Structure 1
């Protein structure tokens, strides 16, 4: 069991502390004391870190020696069932207060234990709230352990590494996802304050408009750092025009008075489980509140059908399916009027993300600039769409 992972400043290599749960499966290993580890095997920081863990002086409870046994006991007490074997426990994440484990139960079922550290500490509260509001469309939280910032979930569906390649099957699965997304979002209407209090980031349209100045200054900085000559950067003049269009789009959408809902800010195929007739949406570390069409646009990006006309036809059908499903909370004609603005707003939402860079000013990280430039060019194309320009002229 990996207890913790770090990359010390005085070393360029990651270092992990691992607890051996079943010694008998590793014949030939010989135990040594920490003082016997050669000096060149560990940096001073790594050695101090190892000694602190062995001495029980850890920052996170889930990095303590013996935590795996405690986790097994908690799962068994909570489920009133026996874990099949510690050897069958699967670990998918670890380090800095994070851990993701899958337990196989003797009755054939499975459950997941997830613990999160900074900056995702809010995910537990969000998962618990959504489990109450959106049963069947998010993982069911059956227990939580605040001292670990952990929660226990039942398995919810089948994970896909990628969508099928056959076009009709792609449309069928995306239609299930679109219908499920609508149901999930409808159940969060009127729950905006609870969602925000649980840690969701505020991406409501009027808030996005207020962020426009900082957003486009950020994009301008990213464009100014471009070194590639394959495509020209968007200059200050065009970014100023884009900012005006974005602000007008936000004003237009605000007048439509579409109910705000939960948004999945990290929507990818790995975060959608298929459970037969519906989908389950997982991993709510990037939970936002805003215009529901934002997540619809992100979902449609999963449509990677190569034929352009076929892809466009499927997307029109999927949008109509979504509008029909959402008509119980908003006139479908109002949503139809909002559709031309959705790609522009969804792209801005992606760049803003948690908006932590607005507070910390850690926005000059060059590793993120290529992504910001790519999304900004998507915004530029979206702003040139005839349907959007026509809507703004009305």
Structure 2
């Protein structure tokens, strides 16, 4: 990643000094060795042991520079639904958070996991509804603007970038696929307009909503959703593009499984002021199609910030575009 903060000389010492300053503000001290938890091309996470339990430091790169301020704002609005933030420095891209518990992925499985996910999906919907009136301020924090009216232009630009990229991934789109994407731009614009007409307001969207980003206590209660780096303001139902795909995979369910349908209904029921359940399901089906392009945009935004060698290895954006093309081709068959 060109200019990744943690690759700069003295970054680690600076981060540790900042952590120490924040601990001092709360009358805490480091009670052991600070250890890395994640070392990814797009983030660094450190575990910070303190006398009152573990804390977690996260550093985000400029491409996800909105994450610290967004996470802090969500903590102020919904303190029981996201990790508790002790300190945030948006300019540096740094967060210091309290331990939110175990990931749901590691804490539960089977029916127990599904019951907890029912709660998680419903709580996500309520959080998103609570953010509707805050969308302008979230955009002002730098949260990406993926609102439906602008998505066709974003998609067209993305196809141009895929055609002219200097570091194509091994699974790059073929010229034929790029032509097909351009041919579908008109129908994609119609799809976005149709979804916008369904009456569900645009709001905060979590583009990496799955059980490894959900944290629970030992009783599998008080679920909190973390990792808001991959977020945007768009149609909220796009959040289930990853959410349902991950849930189906982890629970071993088919897309038409009644149990997966119950999970969908748990998410949709809080939106009942905006339509009947059948109407909301129709809107969701549209949003899942749009959501593939939203997801591709997120990955393309991230990939553009990676080193050339890492860009060549990363094909997630192309994969999501290809899924969109395949699904639309199937619908038209």
Q: TM-score, normalised by structure 2?
A: 0.79
385 and 340 in structure 1: CA distance in 2 versus 1, 3 angstrom threshold: farther
For residues 164 and 376 of structure 1, the distance between their equivalents in structure 2, rounded to whole angstroms, comes to 32
> In the alignment, which residue of structure 1 is the partner of 2:131?
188
Q: Which residue, 281, 286, 292 being the options, matches 2:225? A: 281
Give the number of aligned pairs. 320
Q: Deviations over 1:125-154 (max 9, x none)?
A: 111111112221111223335675433322
For residues 211 and 171 of structure 1, the distance between their equivalents in structure 2, rounded to whole angstroms, comes to 35
Task: Answer whether contact 1:114 1:152 (CA < 8 A) is retained.
Answer: yes
Q: Which residue, 31, 37, 41 being the options, matches 1:92? A: 37
> In the alignment, which residue of structure 1 is the partner of 2:22?
74
For residues 55 and 105 of structure 2, the distance between their equivalents in structure 1, rounded to whole angstroms, comes to 20
> In the alignment, which residue of structure 1 is the partner of 2:313?
367
For residues 260 and 170 of structure 2, the distance between their equivalents in structure 1, rounded to whole angstroms, comes to 35
RMSD of the TM alignment (CA)? Answer: 3.8
Find out whether 1:379 has 2:324 as its counterpart: yes
For residues 99 and 282 of structure 2, the distance between their equivalents in structure 1, rounded to whole angstroms, comes to 39
Q: Deviations over 1:131-180 (max 9, x none)?
A: 112221111223335675433322223124558553x3342232122112
Task: Answer whether contact 2:163 2:175 (CA < 8 A) is retained.
Answer: no
Question: Which of the pair has more CA radius of gyration?
Answer: 1
156 and 343 in structure 1: CA distance in 2 versus 1, 3 angstrom threshold: same
Structure with the bigger RCO (C-alpha within 8 Å, sep 6+) is 2
Task: Answer whether contact 1:129 1:198 (CA < 8 A) is retained.
Answer: no
Task: Answer whether contact 2:37 2:46 (CA < 8 A) is retained.
Answer: yes
> In the alignment, which residue of structure 1 is the partner of 2:118?
175
For residues 247 and 116 of structure 1, the distance between their equivalents in structure 2, rounded to whole angstroms, comes to 33
Q: Secondary structure at the match of 2:83?
A: coil
147 and 122 in structure 1: CA distance in 2 versus 1, 3 angstrom threshold: closer
> In the alignment, which residue of structure 2 is the partner of 1:336?
281
Instruction: Could you tell me which runs of 5 or more consecutive residues in structure 2 were left unpaired when the two chains were aligned.
Output: none
1:1-394 correspondence runs (5 A): 6=7, 58=10, 60=11, 62-64=12-14, 68=16, 71-75=19-23, 77-83=24-30, 85-87=31-33, 89-93=34-38, 99-107=44-52, 109-145=53-89, 149-161=93-105, 166=110, 168-218=111-161, 234-235=176-177, 238-275=180-217, 276-302=220-246, 303-304=248-249, 305-306=251-252, 308=254, 312-328=257-273, 332-353=277-298, 356=301, 365-368=311-314, 370-384=315-329
1:5, distance to aligned residue in structure 2 (A): 5.7
For residues 162 and 233 of structure 1, the distance between their equivalents in structure 2, rounded to whole angstroms, comes to 42
Q: Secondary structure at the match of 2:57?
A: strand
Q: Deviations over 1:154-207 (max 9, x none)?
A: 2223124558553x3342232122112112211111111111111110111111
Q: Which has the higher helix share?
A: 2
1:265, distance to aligned residue in structure 2 (A): 2.1
Task: Answer whether contact 1:96 1:117 (CA < 8 A) is retained.
Answer: no
Task: Answer whether contact 1:183 1:325 (CA < 8 A) is retained.
Answer: yes
307 and 296 in structure 1: CA distance in 2 versus 1, 3 angstrom threshold: closer
For residues 375 and 263 of structure 1, the distance between their equivalents in structure 2, rounded to whole angstroms, comes to 17
For residues 54 and 201 of structure 2, the distance between their equivalents in structure 1, rounded to whole angstroms, comes to 37
Q: Deviations over 1:248-276 (max 9, x none)?
A: 10111122232111111233433221243
Task: Answer whether contact 2:203 2:236 (CA < 8 A) is retained.
Answer: yes
For residues 327 and 102 of structure 1, the distance between their equivalents in structure 2, rounded to whole angstroms, comes to 41
Q: Secondary structure at the match of 1:201?
A: coil
Q: Secondary structure at the match of 2:62?
A: coil
For residues 25 and 169 of structure 2, the distance between their equivalents in structure 1, rounded to whole angstroms, comes to 53
Q: Secondary structure at the match of 2:157?
A: helix
For residues 44 and 174 of structure 2, the distance between their equivalents in structure 1, rounded to whole angstroms, comes to 42
